[in-house]
A and B are shown apart, each in its own frame.
Chain A
Amino acid sequence: MDQDFTTPVENTWCPGCGNFGILNAFRKAIPKLEKQGINPKHLIISAGIGCHGKIFDYVPLSGMYSLHGRSIATVQGIKLGNPNLKVLTFAGDGDAFGEGISHMIFAAKRNADITVIVHNNGTYALTTGQFSPTSQKGFKGPSLPSGNIEEPLNPLSLMLEAGASFVARGYAGRIDHLANLMVEAVLHEGFSYIDVLQPSVVFTNTYKEFNASVEMIEKPAVRLEDAVQLAKRFDKIPIGVFYNVSKPIYHQELYGEWNPVVNRLSHAERIRSIALYLSDHLQE
Chain B
Amino acid sequence: MNDDLFTFLIAGKAGQGTKKAGIVAANFFARFKRNVFQMNDYPSLIRGGHNFSIVSTSTQKIYSHYMKADLAVLLDQRSIKIHQNHLTEHGLLVYDDAIKKQEHGIGIPITSLAKKYSTPDLIVGIAGIATLVAAIACDRSILDTIIQKEYQRNVQDNLGYAHEIYDQVFEKTPKKFILRNGTDTDPILTGAETIGLGVSAAGLDLFFAYPMTPSTPILHFLSLQGKKLGVRTIQPENEIAVANMAIGATFTGARSMVGTSGGGFCLMQEAFSLAGMAEAPVLFFLGQRPGPSTGVPTYTEQGELLHSLYPGQGEFPRIVASPGSIEEAFYLSAELLNLAWHFQTPVILLSEKHLTESSMNVNLQPDKISEVKPLQHNNGNYQRYRKTDSGISPLLFPPSKEMIKWTSYEHDENGYTTEEAEAITQMHIKRRTKQESLVQYLKENIKTVNEYGSGEPFLFTFGSTTMTVREAVLVSGLQCSVIQLIYLQPFPSWHLQKYSGHKAIIIEQNSTGQLEQLLREKCGIHPITSIRQFDGRPFDPELLAEKLKKVTA
What's the minimum C-beta distance from B311 to chain A, rounded to whole angstroms? 15
A261–B248 CB distance below 8 A: no
Closest to B396 in A: A62
- Say how far A160's CB is from chain B's closest CB, in angstroms: 19
Identify the stretch in A28-36, A68-76, A241-249 within 8 Å (CB) of chain B at 4 or more residues.
Answer: A68-76
Interface 1/0s, chain A 74-87, versus B by CB < 8 A?
A: 11111111101100
**Closest Cβ–Cβ distance, residue A147 to chain B (whole Å):** 31
Task: Indicate the member of A7, A61, A67, A73 with the most B CB atoms within 10 Å.
Answer: A73
**In residues 196-232 of chain A, which contact B (Cβ within 8 Å)?**
none
Q: Nearest-CB distance from A101 to chain B (Å)?
A: 11
In the assembled complex, B247 has its CB within 8 A of some CB on chain A: yes
* Residue in B187, B250, B369 whose Cβ sees the most chain A Cβ within 10 Å: B187
Residue in chain A with minimal CB distance to B189 = A281
Which of A44, A74, A81, A106 sits near B253, CB closer than 8 Å? A81
- Contacting residues, chain A, for B399 (C-beta < 8 A): 39, 41-42, 62, 84-85
| Contact yes or no, A64 B251, CB < 8 A | yes
A76 and B408 contacting across the interface, CB-CB below 8 Å: no
A153 within 8 A of B: no
Query: Is A284 at the interface (CB under 8 A from chain B)?
Result: yes
- In the complex, the answer to whether B201 meets A65 with C-beta atoms within 8 Å is no
**A16→B113 CA distance, assembly (Å):** 84
Q: Which of A77, A84, A270, A274 contacts B249 (CB 8 A)?
A: A77
Q: How far is the CB of A75 from chain B (nearest CB, A)?
A: 6
Q: Which residue of chain A has its CB nearest to the CB of B366?
A: A274
Task: List the B side residues contacting A103 at CB < 8 Å.
Answer: 237, 240-241, 244
* Assembled-state Cα–Cα distance A265/B271 (Å): 28
Contact-size category for B: 35 or more
B contact residues around A269 at 8 Å (CB): 230
- CB of B203 within 8 A of CB of A82, answer no
Contact of A283 among B187, B201, B251 (CB under 8 A): B187
Q: Chain B, 199-215, contact with A by CB distance < 8 Å: what is the 0/1 string? A: 01101011010000000
- B314: Cβ under 8 A from any A Cβ: no
Q: Which residues of B contact A66 (CB under 8 A)?
A: 244, 248, 274, 408
Contacts of A271 in B (CB 8 A): 201, 366-367, 369
CB neighbours (8 Å) of A76 from chain B are: 236, 241, 245, 248
Tell me if A63 counts as interface (CB < 8 A to partner B).
yes
Which chain A residues lie closer than 8 Å to B503 at the CB level?
Answer: none
Bound: A74/B274 CA distance, A = 11
Q: Determine how close the nearest CB of chain B comes to the CB of A117; give it in whole angstroms.
A: 17
| Neighbour of A73 across the interface among B33, B236, B415, CB < 8 A | B236
Does B197 sit within 8 A of A, measured CB to CB?
A: yes
Q: Which of A82, A254, A275, A277 contacts B254 (CB 8 A)?
A: A82
C-alpha spacing A39/B30, complex, angstroms:
58
Q: Is the CB of B400 within 8 A of A62?
A: yes
- For A65, give its contact among B228, B400, B406 (CB under 8 Å): B406
Q: Closest chain A residue to B249 by CB distance?
A: A81
Asked whether A233 is an interface residue with its Cβ less than 8 Å from the other chain, the reply is no
Q: Are A63 and B405 in contact (CB under 8 A)?
A: yes
Shortest Cβ distance from residue B327 to the other chain A in the assembled complex, whole angstroms: 12
User: Which residues of chain B have C-beta atoms less than 8 A from A278's C-beta?
Assistant: 187, 197, 364, 366
Question: Is B249 touching A273 in the complex (CB atoms < 8 A)?
Answer: no
Which residues of the partner chain B approach A277 to less than 8 Å between Cβ atoms? 197, 225, 228-229
**A81 CB contacts on chain B under 8 angstroms:** 205-206, 248-254, 256
**Which B residues touch A254, using CB under 8 A?**
232, 234
Output the residue of A269, A274, A284 with the most chain B CB within 10 A: A274
Is A176 in contact with chain B by the CB < 8 A criterion? no
User: Least Cβ distance of A43 to chain B in Å?
Assistant: 9
Verify if B388 is at the interface (C-beta below 8 Å from A). no
Q: How far is the CB of B326 from chain A (nearest CB, A)?
A: 13
Which residues 231-275 of B sit at the A interface, judged by CB distance below 8 A? 232, 234, 236-238, 240-241, 244-254, 256, 270-271, 274
B185 within 8 A of A: yes
List chain A residues, Cβ under 8 A from B364: 274, 278
Q: Is the CB of B201 within 8 A of A274?
A: yes
Task: Note all chain A residues with C-beta closer than 8 A to B274.
Answer: 66-67, 70
The residue on A at minimum CB distance from B241 is: A73
Contacts of A62 in B (CB 8 A): 398-400, 402-405
B252, A273: Cβ atoms under 8 Å?
Answer: no
B407: interface (CB < 8 Å): yes
- Closest A residue, CB atoms, query B33: A283
Interface residues of B in 265-321 (CB under 8 A from A): 270-271, 274, 278
Identify which of A8, A78, A283 contacts B185 (C-beta below 8 A).
A283
Find out whether the CB atom of B238 lies under 8 angstroms from the CB atom of A260. Answer: no
Cα(A270)–Cα(B254), bound, Å: 15
A1 to B401, Cβ gap below 8 A?
yes
Interface flags, A4-43, vs B, CB<8A=1, else 0: 0001110000000000000000000000000000010110
Interface: A129 (CB within 8 A): no
Q: For the complex formed, measure the closest distance between the CB of B203 and the CB atoms of chain A, giving whole angstroms.
A: 7
Residue pair A60, B244 in contact (C-beta under 8 Å): no
Tell me if A78 and B238 are in contact (CB < 8 A).
no
Most buried by B among A60, A271, A282, A283: A283
Q: Residue B121 at the A interface, CB < 8 A? A: no
Contacts of A64 in B (CB 8 A): 247-248, 251, 278, 405-407
Considering the complex, give the chain B residue whose CB is closest to the CB of A62.
B404
B416 neighbours in A (Cβ, 8 Å): 7-9, 57
CB–CB B401/A41 < 8 A: yes
CB atoms of B252 and A283 under 8 A apart: no
Q: Decide if B188 is an interface residue (CB 8 Å cutoff).
A: yes
Residues of the B chain whose Cβ atoms lie less than 8 Å from the Cβ of A39:
399
Between A79, A82, A260, the greatest number of chain B beta carbons within 10 A of the residue's beta carbon is seen for A260
Q: Contact between A78 and B251 (Cβ–Cβ < 8 Å)?
A: yes
A77 touches B401 (CB 8 A): no
Task: Show 19 A/B contacts (Cβ-Cβ < 8 Å), sorted by A.
Answer: A42-B399, A44-B251, A64-B247, A65-B405, A67-B244, A67-B274, A70-B241, A73-B236, A73-B240, A73-B248, A77-B248, A81-B254, A82-B253, A258-B232, A261-B205, A274-B229, A274-B366, A275-B366, A282-B187
Taking Cβ atoms with an 8 Å cutoff, the residues of B that contact A are 27, 30-31, 33, 184-189, 197, 200-201, 203, 205-206, 208, 225, 228-230, 232, 234, 236-238, 240-241, 244-254, 256, 270-271, 274, 278, 361, 364, 366-367, 369-371, 397-409, 415-417
17 further interface pairs, Cβ-Cβ under 8 Å (given A63-B404, A273-B228, A277-B225): A1-B401, A39-B399, A63-B406, A65-B409, A73-B241, A77-B249, A80-B245, A81-B251, A82-B254, A85-B252, A102-B238, A102-B241, A103-B244, A254-B234, A260-B249, A261-B254, A267-B370
Closest 3 CB pairs of A and B: A77-B248, A265-B230, A81-B252
